């Protein structure tokens, strides 16, 4: 049975869906005002892995990952760029989708945008107002009254007194309590705005996910995911909103949070200015290497970014693809027999809170076994199990010649032309010219491999 570490209970629990055979998942997605960095990539790859494993386990999965397309940061960036907000968000949604596709992230079942669900948000705020869980302030904003929700703090594991003591909040004279958070912001000149019972304005950030998860998944669902940084206050506030509005506790049965990406022992984030965008990384590393790098660590552990770690991931993935060079044409897929030794080990690892680290170790065991015995069966199983994680689905030659997003001056066509020039030089016994071509390619990171079938090449 699948076990999931539940952030709410702080322990692994047997996964029992609300409806047998069906799983409903909501994951907090991107705020689209800039390119995705590696922290965002980790979230997308991790929960793509989760939905893939649930589907491989014969669950019918409804996976919702939202897009925040109205927010203080978005408004600020649009003003800085002197461009319409819609143009800004459209551009970065397209970029996000390109990055996700490059990393092998399957599209979610639904990808709702906040601006298309403002009516749902207004309706939920009205319910909270009717239950005296929210109040309208004299500045036109509407706030959630945290002290009126008795369960506040259960996700973070802190009492209201602890949170007040530890929380650094900007003094807001319109709040009744420093921990109260905004549900509706009164309209300001030049900002997007919508009608509401409290006047023109726009929704706060936290109410977006409560309203959209209800719209697509109902008042209760199985799994809610996101980055560790969202556990407090965003997800804590979601619980207060959704359970306060609908009287369902818990409104989510399992909370999952992936760990931070760290650089020099600091969390990677735009606010700290120490982030690398996915696009920057993919100019130097193939997308599958980045996906492998993310999945090789357990999703809850910190992920330490460095070129050295990505180089190591490339070498490790090279080993798997080198083994796959031995697969015979046509023998590239198989229906997995989960009772087999290696497949059952892989399944047990994945059922232990999605332990991709141990699951990938099984792939290396299969590669080693195939290298020892030349077993086609082991290689085909390795490829099939890798496919469950979104790995090892390229033709090995394609993988070794792939260059990610980078615009190389040495294109595949040019490399093939140079190989032919080298063959001509060797045939004419111009060995100096032939060696010069090999060295020129080597300096550009292109390795030639001469063999009985001719000369193959791969990128270093």
Task: Count Cβ atoms below 10 Å from residue 380 Cβ, excluding itself.
Answer: 20
What three-state secondary structure class fits 134?
A: strand
Q: Is 324 in contact with 383 (CB distance < 8 Å)?
A: yes
DSSP one-letter code for 116: G
H-only helix segments in 167-225: 205-217
Of the candidates 99, 96, 52, 153, the residue with the CA atom closest to the CA atom of residue 388: 52
> Which residues make up each annotated binding site for ATP?
270
Binding residues for Zn(2+): 28, 209, 234, 238
Q: Residues annotated as binding site?
A: 28, 209, 234, 238, 270
C-alpha to C-alpha distances, 28 to 39, 82, 228, 250, nearest whole angstrom: 13, 28, 11, 18
Helix H or strand E encompassing 455: strand 454-459
- Beta strand pairing call for 221-227 and 252-258: parallel
C-alpha 216/C-alpha 112 separation (Å) is 9
CA distances from 365 to 298, 320, 337, 347 (A): 19, 10, 17, 15
- Kind plus residue range of the DSSP H or E element containing 185: strand 181-186
Query: Is the distance from CB of 316 to CB of 296 less than 8 angstroms?
Result: yes
Contacts of the segment 315-320: beta carbons below 8 A, 24+ positions apart:
316/292, 316/364, 317/288, 317/289, 317/292, 317/391, 317/399, 318/400, 319/364, 319/367, 320/363, 320/364, 320/367, 320/382, 320/386, 320/391, 320/392
345 vs 359: CA distance, rounded Å: 7
What gap in Å lies between CA 445 and CA 102, rounded to an integer? 22
Determine the Cα–Cα distance for residues 13 and 356; give it in Å rounded to an integer: 18
Report phi then psi at 37, rounded to 5. -100, 180
DSSP one-letter string for 19-81 = BTTEEEEEE---B-SS--BHHHHHHHHHHHHHHHHHHHTT-EEEEEE-BB-SSHHHHHHHHHH
CB 228 within 8 A of CB 258: yes
Distance from C-alpha of 146 to C-alpha of 136, rounded to nearest angstrom: 14
Please tell me the distance from the alpha carbon of residue 161 to that of residue 70, in angstroms, as a whole number: 32
Provide the residue count of the chain: 460
């Amino acid at each position: 049975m699948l076990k999931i570490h539940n952030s709410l209970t702080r322990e692994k629990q047997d996964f029992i869906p609300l409806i047998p055979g069906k799983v409903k998942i909501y994951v907090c997605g991107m705020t689209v005002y800039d390119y995705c960095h590696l922290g965002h990539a980790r979230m997308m790859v991790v929960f793509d892995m989760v939905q893939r494993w649930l589907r491989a386990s014969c669950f019918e999965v409804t996976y919702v990952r939202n897009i925040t397309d109205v927010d203080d940061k978005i408004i600020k960036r649009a003003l800085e760029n002197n461009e319409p907000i819609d143009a800004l968000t459209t551009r970065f949604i397209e970029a996000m989708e390109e990055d996700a596709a490059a990393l092998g992230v399957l599209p979610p079942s639904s990808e709702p945008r906040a601006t298309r669900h403002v009516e749902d948000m207004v309706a939920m705020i009205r319910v909270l107002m009717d239950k005296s869980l929210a109040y309208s302030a004299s500045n036109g904003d509407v706030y959630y009254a945290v002290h009126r929700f008795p369960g506040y703090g259960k996700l973070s594991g802190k009492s209201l007194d602890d949170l007040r003591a530890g929380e650094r909040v900007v003094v807001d004279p319109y709040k009744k309590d420093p921990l109260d958070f905004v549900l509706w912001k009164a309209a300001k000149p030049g900002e997007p705005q919508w009608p509401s019972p409290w006047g023109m304005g726009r929704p706060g950030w936290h109410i977006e996910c409560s309203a959209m998860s209800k719209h697509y998944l109902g008042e209760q669902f199985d799994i809610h995911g996101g980055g560790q940084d969202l556990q407090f206050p965003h997800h804590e506030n979601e619980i207060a909103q959704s359970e306060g509005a609908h009287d369902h506790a818990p409104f989510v049965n399992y909370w999952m949070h992936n760990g931070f990406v760290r650089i020099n022992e600091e969390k990677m984030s735009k606010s700290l200015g120490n982030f690398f965008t996915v696009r920057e990384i993919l100019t130097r590393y193939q997308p599958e290497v980045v996906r492998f790098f993310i999945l090789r660590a357990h999703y809850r552990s910190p992920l330490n970014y460095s070129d050295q770690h990505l180089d190591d991931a490339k070498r490790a993935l090279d080993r798997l693809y080198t083994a796959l060079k031995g697969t015979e044409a046509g023998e590239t897929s198989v229906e997995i027999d989960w009772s087999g030794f290696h497949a059952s080990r892989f399944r047990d690892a994945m059922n232990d809170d999605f332990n991709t680290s141990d699951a990938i170790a099984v792939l290396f065991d299969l590669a080693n076994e195939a290298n020892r015995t030349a077993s086609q069966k082991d290689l085909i199983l390795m490829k099939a199990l890798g496919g469950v994680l979104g790995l090892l689905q390229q033709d090995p030659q394609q993988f070794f010649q792939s260059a990610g997003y980078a615009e190389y001056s040495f294109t595949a066509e040019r490399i093939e032309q140079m190989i032919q020039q080298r063959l001509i030089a060797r045939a004419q016994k111009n060995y100096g010219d032939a060696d010069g071509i090999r060295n020129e390619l080597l300096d550009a990171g292109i390795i030639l491999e001469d063999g009985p079938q001719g000369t193959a090449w791969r990128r270093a």
